[in-house]
Chain A
């Protein structure tokens, strides 16, 4: 059953030649992941998004395929903010050459903006947040001291 569903998910969008496939994204969180990665209308490569696909592990999940994208480790781990169980597959010549499980670092320095609009870290461009609790996610800005939940960060 699971294998059949996986196949269905893969069949909807064709394989990419070079880039990344982000799998096991929390259902409906694909747009939030793209936002975290800074991928918007100016991104030159092809981006395919599959949302609310049946998943054996999580019930429903999203998949994102990004053609022509390479990712550094801190960029990969940033995804954990909105999708703690996501996996990132690096694809070269249609083959998965590396697989990463995302892992939320304790300190998020220069990763995401503080959601508090009047926090000095946004004005001076030095965001620094600390993960105080993984689940449910609790993140504190080291400047304005406020605590944010996953919903507030997305």
Chain B
């Protein structure tokens, strides 16, 4: 659905709403989702049955590889009694024949009550949403945004730290192409007294335009060397080899959070990662009480259940 402005919208109702970018989220929006997510936890684990979305159909379109986001959305819909249609194979869709996203959405919205899509082109979420008459949820548009990941990240932070206000969140790794850090940074900017600390290889620095925009509403700074000691949340992301033309540069840029580095962290800090990880968190860290990335991953189902319920039923 088309909205007049890209600006931040205050107090918009949830029913029928598109979820495209965390730039449009207010604190209340985020808190609505987090509150409902908490109530969805038992249902997400199959311990309680609540067929809120019985008779509804969710279309999931993944034009880029995904395991956890796609499974998480599909499970969320099934746990709420709804049905799922979709594809994870772009070659099997009419996009392979050259059909535009705009035209394809005209078909998909006729077949479904909500659409979830991941697509390699930036801005594809906005384009698809404008063509669709049913609520649209962005599951990743190129390097731009991944808003539902940010919601489950905040849910995990709130769950583990009991608050979001006042925290120092350290974002590590590929901050240029990493859509999860872009979405998380904008979502964090809605909270009080948050500090966003950035550390990345020089080639993969946080986009300058986002930095300039966020600076207006949140404390944000870059640090030249890896220092985990001040962070309440260490949010690690994967550095993709294919971003480097020279493999030696990749080797120099890569970082590993191992037991030795994690020992410098605050006792009550937490380690998060949107997953999948490659080498950036050593397996030995999994046993550390501060490692919360698998908990974070599991939280995705409850958060997506809350979001699907909100956009399809308004509650």
Chain A contact residues, CB within 8 Å of chain B: 114, 116, 118-121, 123-124, 126, 130, 140-148
Contact = CB atoms under 8 A, between A and B. Distances in A.
A140 B124 contact: no
Interface stretch (B38-46, B115-123, B168-176, B278-286): B115-123
B41 to A, nearest CB: 32
Contacts of B126: 120, 142-143
A121 B123 contact: yes
A119 B209 contact: no
Contacts of B121: 118-120, 123
A118 B6 contact: no
Interface of B: 6, 21, 23, 100-102, 119-124, 126-127, 141-142, 144-145, 207, 209, 212-213
A106 B212 CA distance: 21
Contacts of B144: 144-145
B145 A145 contact: yes
Contacts of A145: 6, 21, 23, 122-123, 144-145
A36 B119 CA distance: 30
Contacts of A130: 6
17 contacts: A118-B121, A119-B121, A119-B123, A120-B127, A121-B123, A123-B121, A130-B6, A142-B6, A142-B123, A143-B122, A143-B124, A143-B126, A145-B144, A145-B145, A146-B122, A146-B207, A147-B209
Most chain A beta-carbon contacts within 10 A, residue among B23, B212, B213: B213
A130 B207 CA distance: 19
A146 B23 CA distance: 12
B142 A144 contact: yes
A119 to B, nearest CB: 5
Nearest to B103: A124
Given A124-B100, A145-B145, A140 B6 contact: yes
B127 A124 contact: yes
Contact of B209 (A114, A123, A142, A146): A146
Contacts of A121: 123, 127
A154 to B, nearest CB: 17
B108 to A, nearest CB: 16
B213 A147 contact: yes
Given A120-B101, A124-B101, A130-B6, A141 B123 contact: yes
B240 to A, nearest CB: 15
Contact of A118 (B23, B122, B207): B122
* 8 closest A-B pairs by CB: A143-B123, A144-B123, A144-B122, A147-B209, A120-B121, A120-B123, A120-B124, A120-B127
B52 to A, nearest CB: 32
Nearest to A114: B123
Given A144-B141, A147-B212, 4 more contacts: A119-B122, A120-B121, A141-B123, A147-B209
Contacts of A147: 209, 212-213
A118 B127 contact: no
A116 B101 contact: no
B281 to A, nearest CB: 29
Most chain A beta-carbon contacts within 10 A, residue among B121, B144, B207: B121
B101 A118 contact: no
A114 B121 CA distance: 13
Most chain A beta-carbon contacts within 10 A, residue among B120, B122, B126, B144: B122
A74 to B, nearest CB: 20
Contact of B102 (A116, A119, A124, A142): A124
A137 to B, nearest CB: 13
A126 B209 CA distance: 23
Contacts of A123: 121
Nearest to A146: B209
B252 to A, nearest CB: 27
Contacts of A126: 102, 127
Contacts of A120: 101, 119, 121-124, 126-127, 141
A130 to B, nearest CB: 7
A143 to B, nearest CB: 3
A140 B144 CA distance: 13
Nearest to B127: A120
